[in-house]
Chains A and B, each alone.
Chain A
Amino acid sequence: MTTVPLDSLSRGGGKKQTSTSTMAASVSKQDLLTEAFSIVENTPDMDGVITTLRDFLQVDHLVYYSSQLPGPSVPYIRLTYPGSWIKRYLQMGYGEVDLVIREGFKRTLPFEWKELEFNSPAEAAFLADALAHGIGPHGYAIPVSNKHFYRGLFTVCSSQSEQAWATFLSSTQSALIQIANRVHSRVVVEVFGPDKPQLTTRELECLRWIALGKGATEIAAILDISPHTTRDYLKSVHYKLDCVSSAQAVTKAIRLGLLTL
């Protein structure tokens, strides 16, 4: 598995990553998100999405699981785990003791693997075996959902030092949450087909002002609402249109016939 350095993916030039610097230190949050969203949108297949994202985020592994689809079907799982671990996992019947998955689908807030409580020695043994195969010890899991009751779990893991992990998490948490949701949206489209986004009158109004060159603060003054509320309407537009910026959202809304200027 080759690691693709951040600077070769995102832009020409830029600092080469040293082993001690975190990615977030030399890339702005918006650039990080733009690149990550581009990976999700443009990589042809989901295996590629997961692998490329893993390399980009500089974590050891990345897994996306989704809840059971209605009717008889296999769960949708895409992961970067090595074949040796997958084989071991199946041989040992670890599906029964994998507390990350079990809890992940019973939790709604994101959580660190260290927050998990063992119910049995078998669970502790599972995590120890996982560690021996390069999985963990640090992990962060983000439950994701959608309006049609379809749930997923996005998780990253790392063997960095405690300190490096803590720094990574605090600087990357909000981006990870956005990325997790973007991945889930792509899977939803893959499984269920595309849905026409529904923007409210207010959301379209904010987007129209963006298209006319106004910023959030100006729009807030025009509409007599707070800048925070304006930004939330725009965040809702971004989420519904799977976009990472308002500029992207304008283009997409016009293309979809939701916005005419």
Chain B
Amino acid sequence: MRIVDAVSLRRFAQSARGSCVMIVIVEPHNAEKHSNLLEQMFRLRARIFHDHLGWDVEVADGKERDKYDGEGPVYVIYTDRHGLKVKGSLRLLPTTGPTLLADIFSDTVPDAVDLQAPTIWECTRFCLNDNVLHGDKEEILFASTVLLIALGDVALKAGIESIIGNFDASMLHLWRRIGCEVEVLGCTSRYGRPIYLGLHPISEAIVGRIKKKLRGAQSAVAEARVMAA
């Protein structure tokens, strides 16, 4: 089933695990309506990227924002079933316009990557809520998978065929575990620890395969709960 909006994702998740997830897609036109979620997201990004990962990012008033947030990106936000609390989020920009990765990763090795095409978009600031991160591995896997599926479905609907993204070694491991076919194009150590640049193909087949993993992940979560009870 193609997830094209929050309603159909909710139905999918209900059939998958008997509870609700919600995905909210925010662009400038509906940013005001979702200002509470955006506020939470910017605060989450500050905690994860600045406090926890120690990346060289600007934080003001407890929120992490950069100039690309002013370029009208698409935010894909995973919330609790009431649409009130942010559990994870990511940011999407078309490579035809100004992008973080083209600007910052111009010194990536083995050679500069500056992919630009209408069907290639960049995903940055992919993160999960610290509550989720402090949970068990299966919860993290489940949340990451839900957010990736949402990204996949937004991409399929918009005719996007590739996503270029940045991540560290542990995220790369997670992507592959979830079933992404990510190819590492380069690496930069400009910010201390190595950050990779990767290219994810998007297709019905790939998104479908990840959806099947979701069912696997959520039953592992259910099992863990039964054992803990």
> Do A and B bind?
yes
A-to-B contact residues, CB < 8 Å: 103, 106-110, 144-147, 149, 151, 173-174, 177-178, 180-181, 198, 200-202, 225-226, 228-229, 232-233, 235-236, 238-240
Interface extent on B, as a size class?
A: 35 or more
B118 in contact with A239 (CB, 8 Å): yes
Instruction: Tell me, rounded to whole Å, the shortest Cβ–Cβ distance linking B82 to chain A.
Output: 21
Does B152 sit at the interface, judged by CB under 8 A?
no
Q: With A108-B74, A147-B98 given, is the CB distance from A177 to B114 under 8 Å?
A: no
Kindly specify which of B10-18, B42-50, B154-162, B188-196 makes contact with the partner chain. Answer: B154-162
Complex CA gap A103/B72 in Å reads: 12
B111 in contact with A202 (CB, 8 Å): yes
Q: With A146-B96, A200-B111, A229-B185 given, is the CB distance from A106 to B28 under 8 Å?
A: yes
Chain B residues 86 to 103 lying within 8 A of chain A, measured CB to CB, are 92-98, 102
Does B132 sit at the interface, judged by CB under 8 A?
no
Does B80 sit at the interface, judged by CB under 8 A?
no
Complex CA gap A240/B96 in Å reads: 9
A109 in contact with B27 (CB, 8 Å): yes
Does B225 sit at the interface, judged by CB under 8 A?
no
Does B73 sit at the interface, judged by CB under 8 A?
yes
A201 in contact with B93 (CB, 8 Å): no
Chain B residues 4 to 61 lying within 8 A of chain A, measured CB to CB, are 25, 27-29
Complex CA gap A167/B209 in Å reads: 26
Complex CA gap A145/B154 in Å reads: 19
Taking a contact as CB atoms closer than 8 A, the residue among B93, B114, B118, B157 that contacts A181 in the complex is B118
Instruction: Tell me, rounded to whole Å, the shortest Cβ–Cβ distance linking B70 to chain A.
Output: 10
Contacts A178-B118, A236-B120 given; 18 further ones with Cβ under 8 A?
A106-B28, A108-B72, A108-B73, A109-B74, A109-B157, A144-B96, A145-B97, A180-B118, A228-B162, A228-B181, A228-B183, A232-B115, A233-B115, A235-B119, A236-B114, A236-B116, A238-B117, A239-B116
Complex CA gap A57/B199 in Å reads: 32
B-to-A contact residues, CB < 8 Å: 25, 27-29, 71-74, 92-98, 102, 111-120, 154, 157-159, 162, 181, 183, 185, 199, 201
Chain A residues within an 8 Å CB radius of B159:
110, 173-174, 177
Chain A residues within an 8 Å CB radius of B183:
225-226, 228-229
Complex CA gap A173/B181 in Å reads: 25
Complex CA gap A239/B120 in Å reads: 11
Chain A residues within an 8 Å CB radius of B116:
147, 236, 239-240
B112 in contact with A235 (CB, 8 Å): no
Chain B residues within an 8 Å CB radius of A180:
118
Q: With A108-B72, A147-B97 given, is the CB distance from A200 to B154 under 8 Å?
A: no
Chain A residues within an 8 Å CB radius of B95:
236
Instruction: Tell me, rounded to whole Å, the shortest Cβ–Cβ distance linking A156 to chain B.
Output: 14
B162 in contact with A107 (CB, 8 Å): no
Taking a contact as CB atoms closer than 8 A, the residue among B94, B112, B158, B199 that contacts A200 in the complex is B112
Instruction: Tell me, rounded to whole Å, the shortest Cβ–Cβ distance linking B174 to chain A.
Output: 20
Chain A residues within an 8 Å CB radius of B120:
232, 235-236
Complex CA gap A200/B112 in Å reads: 6
Q: Which of chain B's residues has its CB closest to A236's CB?
A: B115
Complex CA gap A144/B158 in Å reads: 13
Q: 15 interchain pairs (CB within 8 A)?
A: A103-B29, A108-B28, A108-B92, A109-B27, A110-B158, A110-B159, A144-B118, A146-B96, A146-B97, A174-B119, A177-B159, A178-B118, A200-B114, A233-B115, A235-B120
Complex CA gap A157/B118 in Å reads: 21
Complex CA gap A238/B95 in Å reads: 14
A109 in contact with B154 (CB, 8 Å): yes
Taking a contact as CB atoms closer than 8 A, the residue among A109, A110, A181, A233 that contacts B96 in the complex is A181
Complex CA gap A38/B158 in Å reads: 25
B112 in contact with A239 (CB, 8 Å): no
Complex CA gap A200/B117 in Å reads: 14
Complex CA gap A145/B181 in Å reads: 28
Instruction: Tell me, rounded to whole Å, the shortest Cβ–Cβ distance linking B114 to chain A.
Output: 5
A198 in contact with B114 (CB, 8 Å): yes
